[in-house]
Chain A
Amino acid sequence: MAEITYLEAIREGLIEEMERDPAVFCLGEDIGAYGGAFKVTDGLMQRFGENRVIDTPVSEVAIVGAAAGAAHMGMRPVCEMQFIDFISCAYDILTNYVATARYRAMLPCPMVVRGPSGGYVRGGPFHSQNPEAAFLHTPGLKIVSPATASDAKGLLKAAIRDDDCVLFFEHKYLYRRVKETMPSGDHVVPIGQARVAREGRDLSIITYSATVWKALEAAEELERADGLSVEVLDLRSLSPLDDDAIIATVRKTNRVLIVHEDTRTGGVAGEITARITERAFEWLDAPVMRVTAADVPLPYAPQLEDYVLPQTADIVGAARTIARY
């Protein structure tokens, strides 16, 4: 079977789920007739009609809130944020209404909020964000961040089938840059399971989304130049985190570097570090270190964006420091 892109894999996942379950429907800005700002939903309106692919006004609160109401009624809505940066407009309804619905009111909210996240694209401060940390801190929401095309498809299918709200953060840098042949059959990747993207013995890099590819590049370089055997753990799900996979890699290599594209303070890496310290402190031969974006809004100019975001060379340098420790 032919290779398809990360973006096409998302579309394929949507189509398969919409065909499987008539309760699944999509809503968002410009997703129907236009096929979405990035064309993820291209052709879906023609295929499934206007009741299942709904073009909305510019109203993120209405998109997410209406999805919650429809989910209460047994529908399976998939919301698109045109850029994930606009999910902040729906922060209230997501964190207050959706995230608490099951707990406080026994109301299920099986819904997905998906959209393009991430930088490395000269998008400036409002078209490059990585909003996972704010939602990781909110009990009641699940978060996935696929790095590969097959995970994008498999996790989306799992997210749509999940009985709770799943935030599906796709990376726009990967949309057309990574390709893969899809596994055959009904390919569902369980939420909450990390993936060892590369086996190694000397040091572990724990990461997710676009920086998985930078970590893999760094691992190659470290192997070639330093003879270091580097394991790369692709988390895939951020909520819930796969604690067992994290602890397993710590026990295997005893040295950990955590990499993410989001800013440092209050980021996912801090949470992972705490979990490692709680459960596997005695297995560590070096402090857990982080390579992340600097704590600034993401600037637009290439010279600035490249400085702020983590680069492969940063990962190589940081890994060397940890390996030497």
Chain B
Amino acid sequence: MAQRAATRPAITPNGSPAAPLPVAAAPALGRAEKLELYYFMRLTRTLEERLVSLYRQTKVVGGLFRSLGQEADAVGSAYALDRTQGDILSPLIRNLGSMLVQGATPLEILRQYMAKGDSPTRGRELNIHFGDVRRGFIGQISHLGDMVPVMAGVTLSFKVRGERRVGLVYVGDGATSTGAFHEGINFAAVQRCPLVVIVENNGYAYSTPTSRQTAARHLVDKAAGYGVPGEQADGNDVLATYDVTKRAVDRARAGGGVTLIELITYRRKGHAEHDNQSYVPEGEIERWSRENDPIDRYAAVLRDREGVEPQELAAIDARVQAEIDAATDTADASPPPQALDALVGVYADPPAVPPLWFREGSGAPAAAAAAERPAGWGTYDG
């Protein structure tokens, strides 16, 4: 059963993929690395589950976005980057896993969702909207598509400086409809930037099914229009995701320019935690969760093909749990931001804007904080 699940083509709400999806083997990866992929997928899921319980305790300020069922696509693709070469990715809201691979910590994620003063953005931004160039991820903004041209520029600078670095940018099926996506990928294609564009087709953009988002048969078909290679892969197969991305990363590093990859996956939770998914056909979510859960599938692959013992996976699960428990305690004890910190950091110079006249006397803006501001602007907590 599990073996079959691992090899069957992904189910898509729009019909089946163009060609049978390749069965992943990831020959480049050793056993330890394959276990690490499992670790990051489990870390993503357990961390989000922790966030759900914090959300219910109203400790999460604002909305909560899940990647349940999409952990493989974020983790497998990010894992194909080379962290020793300074590769950089830009995640979207369902790519928590890719950030963890790049070195974001559960503590940062928890502080960020809880709007703590020592969160990576010091309470300025929400959820996983943060980045750290040094660790190789640039934070998204809400406006969909905008990160594609930004990553075109990141990778353009790799190219013109002769660096052997690669960039990767995620967009959803919905975001492919934006002008920014089109302009960004086209520009990168013309410039042959070392950029991998991952289109995560999870079946929905908020309530809109992919069939109402594009008249193209497949999102990967768009690659031809930009004159770049396109590949489609099973986003719920972490090794397939790794393989397809690794090919694109290698091509980009060798000067081959942009690749567009469509990963077929499925959004099992609502757009955000508040969304009751009333628009989803009955049984669809249950079917994906039963037949195509990326962690269940991968656990079966590890067992059947790699001879990984159940206790090994259980030990990883326990390690993840312990890490998240410890991070939760620390995040919970983190202080909220100081109000006056709101005035710090709009410009490099001046470091802080003055309080408005009716707030004068409420204290000078956190000049000390401004002076101590780290070069990476608070995105790195060691």
Contact = CB atoms under 8 A, between A and B. Distances in A.
B343 A59 contact: no
A301 B346 CA distance: 16
Interface stretch (B201-209, B242-250, B302-310): B201-209
Nearest to A296: B346
B13 interface: no
Given A57-B208, A296-B353, A308-B342, A34 B123 contact: no
Contact of A124 (B129, B174, B357, B358): B129
- B: contact size bracket: 35 or more
B256 interface: no
A317 B206 CA distance: 43
A304 interface: yes
Interface stretch (B1-9, B140-148, B258-266): B140-148
Given A30-B207, A57-B214, A126 B142 contact: yes
B213 interface: yes
Contacts of A291: 356, 358
A289 B357 CA distance: 9
Nearest to B355: A294
A297 B62 contact: no
A103 interface: no
Given A59-B178, A295-B346, A296-B346, A321 B62 contact: no
A303 B336 contact: yes
B358 A314 contact: yes
B59 to A, nearest CB: 12
Contacts of A58: 144-145, 174-175, 177-178, 205, 208, 213
A306 B178 contact: no
A60 B207 CA distance: 17
A221 interface: no
Contacts of A33: 207, 279
Contacts of B357: 289
A318 interface: yes
B123 A299 contact: yes
B61 A302 contact: yes
Interface stretch (A83-91, A94-102, A187-195, A222-230): A83-91
A34 B342 CA distance: 36
Contacts of A172: none
Interface string A211-245: 00000000000000000000000000000000000
A61 B144 CA distance: 13
A255 interface: no
A292 interface: yes
B143 A125 contact: no
Contacts of A88: 143
Given A58-B178, A302-B61, A294 B117 contact: no
Contacts of B342: 294, 296, 299, 304, 307-308
Contacts of B121: 300
Interface of A: 29-30, 33-34, 37, 55, 57-62, 82-83, 85-86, 88-89, 122-127, 264, 289, 291-292, 294-297, 299-304, 306-308, 314, 317-318, 321
27 contacts: A34-B207, A34-B208, A57-B213, A58-B178, A59-B177, A61-B179, A85-B142, A89-B178, A89-B179, A122-B115, A124-B124, A291-B358, A295-B353, A296-B342, A296-B343, A297-B124, A299-B337, A300-B124, A300-B126, A301-B115, A303-B117, A303-B336, A304-B123, A304-B337, A304-B342, A307-B359, A314-B358
